[in-house]
Amino acid sequence: MSFLEVFQYSRIDSPLHRLDPRSKLVMVIVCSAASLLFLNIVPLLIVLSCLVPLIALSHSLGRWFKSMRGLIFLVAFIVIFNTLLSSVQYPFSYSIALALRLIALMTSFSLFFLTVQPDHLSQALIQMRVKFEFAFAMSMAMRYVPTLGQEAYAIMDAQKARGVELDKGNALKRIRNTVPIIVPLIIVSIRRALLIAESMESRGFGSTHKRTYMDRLYFRRSDWLVVAVSLVVLVFLVYVRFILGLPEWMLWQLPF
Amino acid sequence: MALIEFSDFSFRYLGSESLALRRVNLKVEEGEYLVVTGPSGCGKTTLCRAINGLVPHFHHGYVAGSVIVNGLDTREHTVAEMSSIAGLVFQNPANQLVTLNVEKEIAFGPENLGIEPSEIRRRVNDLVGLLDLGSLRDKHPHEMSGGEQQRVAIAAVLALKPKILIADEPTSNLDPASSEMILTLIAKLNREGMTVVLIEHRLDIVSKQASRLVLMNDGEIVMDGPPRIVLTDARCEELGIGVPKATQIYQRLKKRNIELPRVPLSGEELALLVQEASHR
Amino acid sequence: MIQLEDVSFSYDGVYSALVGVSLQIDDGESVAIMGNNGAGKTTLVKHFNGLLRPDHGRVIVNGVDARRRSVAELSKEIGLVWQNPDHQLFLDTVRKEIVFGLRNLGYSAEEADARCDMVLKDLHLEELAERSPFALSGGERKRVCLASVLATEPKVLALDEPTIGQDAGQKLRLARLLQDMNRKGCTVVVVTHDIEFVIENFPRTVAMSRGRIVADGKTSSVLSDSNAIALCSLSPPQMTVAAQSMNRLFPEVSPRMTALSEVEEAIVRILGGR
């Protein structure tokens, strides 16, 4: 699961961390588009070589590297399967390109999740006119994930202590054994939800449509710059890919 | 007029067959510190929720009589309207922290009521200072101890500047050190003018701080008066109330014809009273 | 009998939850384990039935190294009652809940039913037998969980924070039940921070702080020891506070009393009377 590390926000200060989530969203969309527009080794390597400095700018190279290491099995799987099964002229080359694309996409998304604080994300959504209740539901979900995780472990302990054996038996038995875990988890979550609702209601939740926000997000010059550059890059890439066409050397493939 | 006034108030939860509260009459003046106690199921939780309107607006059911808080009839005003008059702190701290950081949590209530952002910022800064929450700023609620979480929950409730602080067994899930800290905080708020209604089983800790002890059983108020009088009544033992041991000693000594000058509520008081008595 | 020999354990490899813990609980004992949050009390108890295995040291249950037995096996002898009953309730009637645990541990359907009937009677749950546990009150759900553990007739009954949120009457009933179990030969272990409950009901107390045992012995000695109390972030018992205050004014009075009757007698001696 270590490949998930690159999707976790960490509270550091970096040029990328200081940007508004909305400008980062635009940047990441463009990076993802760049990863998806090309399916050849050389262009993808160029895209990656632009992404990695961005990761460095967010002071998260170590984390990125660890995640990429965690991806090795998946990458090997993709390469092997596609080499054996695809009907393209040079299957190995194609599968390397696919693997590179996966890495580039993951790196693009990680740029967002590494540097956007969950509350800022929900504030960004609210300022982008998403209804408060939805944005808040999302941030509450993030708030309660660790709590729910701990609850699940406690439930597993309680059931193991009654003789429920979670790691034995055939596939069918194992699935049946998840019932004593899932049912209490759902019930406990519902009970908890009612208590949370009482606390929220007691503090006026949902009482007015004119809800105010203590901290608002404001675009700065750096944000406008990031958005402008991203859009220009996007237009350029689309132009190169569809209209201009890629030069010969970029279409180079491994001969197998 | 009293700050909180229950007049012949009865309530039955929807789907329940019995009354949770039966013709309750209670008056609370501003600045009082009330401790409400009684066996499980006596109606103290329902009583608390009737003050800020959760009963009957959130917990639906059948109502008779009225509850008037700061001049407002709870049947005719929403919970949101009551929230800036009576704040409610609950038993489980984790279920009261719904955001990812302390400042947002404190701001949550005022934001919900549409209060002006700079005023919210001011309240947040004041409360972080008042309740010493500065060191918790960067922690996720899950990373805080029970006592820290409960302190944040209290700050979040105080952000709405209520006149009344209602606390429903706020220390049940906390260890002894955190419990004392929270109860000391509540006593301090009371000294500064907050009207407090506290549900608590551990009378040995709170009865010294309270101005009034209300005993409930089966939906009714059975006794209501100063702690020293209520705790020496025989009904306490019948109802299974946890009378402080020092007070129990006072009664046992009385049966042995030894009369201490006053009713003690704590071990320290007991020692002083024994000294007084020994000089007579 | 449960023996822990120099047990150390860490959840994440960084922070040690238990450090060099050695403990012996003989059959028929009644022990309280106290300490502040994070002291390792619950971690300790989870080693009894194999939910956790030590990183170093050994856990020996009834003469056999626990490592050689699975959690399910150990659960036949060690019954753990959790703080939150909702962590285990998932079936549609109280009877099914109680029978579930019994069937898992290998009892036949008839045996399971018989034991279920007995425990329903003992805990006054007969009218609730066919009701859904989810519809019961908090206190009733706790009793159902207790019943499901008692039905397995464990040799060791361990309870994690059983007094939280309970009123004085409920605590008294619980204390009586535990005394009954102990009289029948069951070893009782309770993890709690309710110091008054411990003073009144448990002859032996193990005090823990930061993963270590800081005191282990007679309850009245351990809990009147100000150092142990301070290390474990506990509040001294009401009567010890009284004793200490009295001792300051009347030096002949012992500052280490814990029982109500002791303090009462001391006062009677000072003031005269019957």
Q: Report CA-CA distances (Å) from A27 to A62, A119, B73.
A: 22, 19, 54
Structure-token match 């998806």, residue found: A36
Alpha-carbon distance A152 to nearest alpha carbon in chain B (angstroms) = 15
Tell me: pLDDT of C273 over 60: no
Quick check: B41 contacting C, CB < 8 Å? yes
Alpha-carbon distance C196 to nearest alpha carbon in chain A (angstroms) = 27
Q: What is the mean pLDDT of chain B?
A: 93
pLDDT in tens, B63-76: 999 999 999 999 99
| CA–CA dist B88, C239 (Å, integer) | 33
Whether residues B245 and C260 touch (CB distance < 8 A) is answered with yes
Alpha-carbon distance B224 to nearest alpha carbon in chain A (angstroms) = 27
- C-alpha dihedral sign at C237, C243, C249, C254: negative
Tell me: pLDDT of A253 over 60: yes
Q: What percent of chain B has pLDDT over 90?
A: 84
Which chains reach chain B with 3 or more Cβ–Cβ distances below 8 angstroms? A, C
Whether residues B111 and A195 touch (CB distance < 8 A) is answered with no
- Token pair of C101, please? 């645990």
- pLDDT computed for residue A68 by the predictor: 86
Whether residues C170 and B176 touch (CB distance < 8 A) is answered with no
Quick check: B113 contacting A, CB < 8 Å? yes
In sequence order, the 6+-apart residues with CB closer than 8 A to the CB of B48 are B36, B88, B166, B168, B197, B199
> Three-state SS for B237?
helix
Q: Which residues of B touch C165 (CB under 8 A)?
A: 91, 169, 172-173
| CA–CA dist B253, A136 (Å, integer) | 59
Q: Which residues of C touch A158 (CB under 8 A)?
A: 80, 82, 87-88
Q: Which amino acid is at B209?
A: Q
Q: What is the mean pLDDT of chain A?
A: 88
The number of beta carbons lying within 10 Å of the beta carbon of residue C66 is 24
Q: What burial class does residue C48 get, using C-beta atoms within 10 Å of its C-beta: 0-12 exposed, 13-18 middle, 19+ buried?
A: buried
Quick check: A49 contacting B, CB < 8 Å? no
Q: Which residues of A touch C70 (CB under 8 A)?
A: 165
pLDDT in tens, C193-221: 899 999 999 999 999 999 999 999 999 99
Task: List the single residue in A140, A202, A211 with the smallest CB-CB distance to B111.
Answer: A211
- pLDDT computed for residue B153 by the predictor: 97
Instruction: Enumerate residues 209 to 238 of chain A having a beta carbon within 8 A of any beta carbon in chain B.
Output: 210-216
Quick check: C105 contacting A, CB < 8 Å? yes
Q: What burial class does residue C102 get, using C-beta atoms within 10 Å of its C-beta: 0-12 exposed, 13-18 middle, 19+ buried?
A: buried
| pTM for the full predicted model | 0.89
Helix (H) or strand (E) holding A233: helix A221-238
Which candidate in B143, B255, B258, B266 is best for mutational testing of the C interface (most C CBs within 10 A)? B258
Helix (H) or strand (E) holding C88: none
Which candidate in C245, C248, C257 is best for mutational testing of the B interface (most B CBs within 10 A)? C245
pLDDT in tens, B120-173: 999 999 999 999 999 998 788 888 999 999 999 999 999 999 999 999 999 998
Which chains reach chain C with 3 or more Cβ–Cβ distances below 8 angstroms? A, B
Tell me: pLDDT of B88 over 90: yes
- Which chain A residue has its CA at the smallest distance from B86's CA? A202
Quick check: C11 contacting A, CB < 8 Å? no
Whether residues C88 and A158 touch (CB distance < 8 A) is answered with yes
The full DSSP string for A62-73 is HHHHHHHHHTHH
Helix (H) or strand (E) holding A131: none
- C-alpha dihedral sign at C96, C101, C107, C112: negative
- Token pair of A69, please? 């290491």
Whether residues C88 and A159 touch (CB distance < 8 A) is answered with yes
Alpha-carbon distance C198 to nearest alpha carbon in chain A (angstroms) = 24
- Token pair of C186, please? 């069951």
Helix (H) or strand (E) holding C6: strand C2-10
pLDDT in tens, A47-86: 999 999 998 988 888 888 888 888 888 888 888 888 888 7
Task: List the single residue in C46, C76, C87 with the smallest CB-CB distance to A188.
Answer: C87
CATH homologous superfamily of B1-85+165-177+191-227 equals P-loop containing nucleotide triphosphate hydrolases (3.40.50.300)
Alpha-carbon distance A159 to nearest alpha carbon in chain C (angstroms) = 6
pLDDT in tens, A225-248: 999 999 999 999 999 888 887 777
In angstroms, how far is CA C12 from the centroid of its own chain?
26
- Which chain C residue has its CA at the smallest distance from A154's CA? C87
Tell me: pLDDT of C192 over 60: yes
pLDDT in tens, A168-190: 778 888 888 889 999 999 999 99
Q: At CB < 8 A and 24+ separation, what contacts does B22-29 make?
A: B22/B218, B22/B219, B22/B220, B23/B64, B23/B65, B23/B220, B24/B65, B24/B219, B24/B220, B24/B221, B25/B221, B26/B214, B26/B221, B26/B224, B27/B2, B28/B2, B28/B3, B28/B4, B28/B164, B28/B195, B28/B197, B29/B2, B29/B3, B29/B195
If pLDDT is split at 50, 70 and 90, which confidence band does A2 have? low
pLDDT in tens, C170-191: 899 999 999 999 999 999 999 9
Alpha-carbon distance C33 to nearest alpha carbon in chain B (angstroms) = 14
Q: What percent of chain C has pLDDT over 70?
A: 99
Task: List the single residue in A158, A164, A165 with the smallest CB-CB distance to C87.
Answer: A158
In sequence order, the 6+-apart residues with CB closer than 8 A to the CB of B273 are B260, B261, B262, B264
Structure-token match 């390397």, residue found: A96
Which chains reach chain A with 3 or more Cβ–Cβ distances below 8 angstroms? B, C
Whether residues A203 and B109 touch (CB distance < 8 A) is answered with yes
Buried-state track B105-140, b at ≥16 Cβ within 10 A, e below 16: bbbbbbbbbebeeeebeebbeebbeebebeebeebe
Quick check: C238 contacting B, CB < 8 Å? yes
Higher pLDDT, A144 or A165: A144
Q: Are C158 and C189 in contact (CB under 8 A)?
A: yes
Tell me: pLDDT of A1 over 70: no
If pLDDT is split at 50, 70 and 90, which confidence band does A20 have? very high
Q: Which residues of A touch C100 (CB under 8 A)?
A: 162
Q: At CB < 8 A and 24+ separation, what contacts does C252-260 make?
A: C255/C224, C256/C220, C256/C221, C256/C224, C256/C225, C257/C220, C257/C224, C258/C199, C258/C219, C258/C220, C258/C223, C258/C224, C259/C199, C259/C220, C260/B245, C260/B248, C260/B249
Higher pLDDT, A166 or B121: B121
Task: List the single residue in C240, C249, C264 with the smallest CB-CB distance to B253.
Answer: C264
- Which chain C residue has its CA at the smallest distance from B271's CA? C246
Do the bridges between strand B195-199 and strand B33-37 make them parallel or antiparallel, or are there none, so unpaired?
parallel
- pLDDT computed for residue B158 by the predictor: 97
Q: Report CA-CA distances (Å) from A29 to A19, A35, A67, C75.
A: 15, 10, 21, 54
- Token pair of C17, please? 């939850």
pLDDT in tens, C130-173: 999 998 888 889 999 999 999 999 999 999 999 988 888 889 99
pLDDT in tens, A114-143: 898 888 888 999 999 899 999 999 889 888
Whether residues A184 and C90 touch (CB distance < 8 A) is answered with yes
Residues of chain B with CATH 3.40.50.300: 1-85+165-177+191-227
Q: Which residues of B touch A201 (CB under 8 A)?
A: 54, 58, 79-80
Tell me: pLDDT of C274 over 50: no
- pLDDT computed for residue C36 by the predictor: 84
pLDDT in tens, C72-99: 889 989 999 999 999 999 999 999 999 9
Q: Which residues of B touch C268 (CB under 8 A)?
A: 253, 256, 258
Q: Are B198 and B23 in contact (CB under 8 A)?
A: no
Task: List the single residue in B52, B100, B124 with the smallest CB-CB distance to A202.
Answer: B52
State yes or no: cis peptide before A118, omega within 30 of 0. no
Q: Which residues of C touch B175 (CB under 8 A)?
A: 36-37, 193, 233
The number of beta carbons lying within 10 Å of the beta carbon of residue C27 is 12
| CA–CA dist B105, B141 (Å, integer) | 10
| CA–CA dist C148, C130 (Å, integer) | 14
Q: Which residues of A touch C148 (CB under 8 A)?
A: 162
Whether residues C51 and A157 touch (CB distance < 8 A) is answered with yes
